[in-house]
Copies of this chain bind each other. A is one copy, B any other.
Amino acid sequence: MMDVAKLARVSPSTVSLYLRRPSAVSPSAGQEIDRAISTLGYVPNLVAGGLAAASSKVVSIIVPSIRNAFFAETVSALQSELAADGLQVLLGHSEYAEDQEEALVRTALSWAPAAIVLTGLSHSAGTRKLLQASGIPVVEMWELGGKPIDMAVGFSHPQVGATAARHLLSKGRRSLAFLGARMQEDHRAEKRASGFAEAARAGGVSACEVLNHPGAATVEAGSLLLNRALQQVSGLDGIACSNDLIALGALFECQRQGIAVPDEIAVMGFGDLSFSASCIPSLTTIRPSGELIGKEVARLILGSIHGERPEGASRIVDTGHVLIERKSS
């Protein structure tokens, strides 16, 4: 920066100012600086900038797994929005483990990030304490219904489960099953399941089983779970899945066993993944809109950084969910 300043015949602080607020510098000086930057090939050192400013142009995002299409969609949208404002994304995977999340939060804080984004509302006491003490803007995403540390963007998972149950009830289904995966760790999936069971019981079903596959939510898990459901629920005529991949596996398994969907069993998923509109039969599902979540998280973060921090009710954004009715139900 000193070299740039020397070549442009201004002081380093003018260069610094120009880089951060170009309008605060006279146009002629700005042009000189621009020229000097490009002839020297100057690349600013954001590490030094972060140290001096006591806050770096980085946003730390912690998700359970980037291999999950939901979070990939959100991170992708978030990254695009933040990059437009010169913010970088520091990514971490908690693998659904609170202690791992706490370790990631600790490292994240060492970067003095402009904001921290976490997934869900369940965190260790240590994580909460670290974040509250830091004073850094925190956004919890993909879940609503508890008390957020700072801000939250998402939707109610029990309500998603209830929507699924009511849809199956409206189709005259009375022997239901909820097929979920990794629910011992994935609290949000577990909440969809309990919301489903509650609404199903309130609707007076004759049977409602919640089945869990301890491994990841995959197509194969869906096949396994459908078979277990057939064994455990007599007269099974409706299933809801915690993820479209599981629903797809269930559809395949029905096809293999000659079970007509939706005539014998109605199937619905969650996520509205890319294949859900095109599979056979097309899949009724609930769309949470990971992209919208990403955009809203970005909006809250940019608001916190630039203008004033959002206050009161505006610190919680409900992105809702949408039932997409297709042929599988």
Do the beta carbons of B73 and A67 come within 8 Å of each other? yes
Q: Interface segment, A38-46, A147-155, A156-164, A227-235?
A: A38-46
The yes or no answer to A75 lying at the interface (CB within 8 A) is yes
Q: A122 interface residue, CB < 8 Å from B?
A: no
Question: In the complex, which residues of chain B have a beta carbon less than 8 angstroms from the beta carbon of A245?
Answer: 274-275
Count of chain copies: 2
Give the chain B neighbours of A108 by CB distance below 8 A. 88
Chain A window 221-244, contacts with chain B (Cβ cutoff 8 Å), 1 for yes, 0 for no = 011000000000000000000000
CA distance A58 to B50 in the complex (A): 14
Contact A79 B51 (CB under 8 A): no
Chain B residues whose CB sits within 8 angstroms of the CB of A133 once the complex forms: 41
A218 to chain B, nearest CB (A): 5
A251-281 CB mask vs B (1 if < 8 Å, else 0) is 0100110000000000000000011011110
Most buried by B among A44, A50, A89, A249: A50
A92 touches B79 (CB 8 A): yes
Question: Taking the complex as formed, is A47 at the interface, i.e. its CB lies under 8 A from any CB of chain B?
Answer: yes
A25 to B44, CA, bound (A): 36
Chain B residues, Cβ within 8 Å of A107: 46, 86, 88
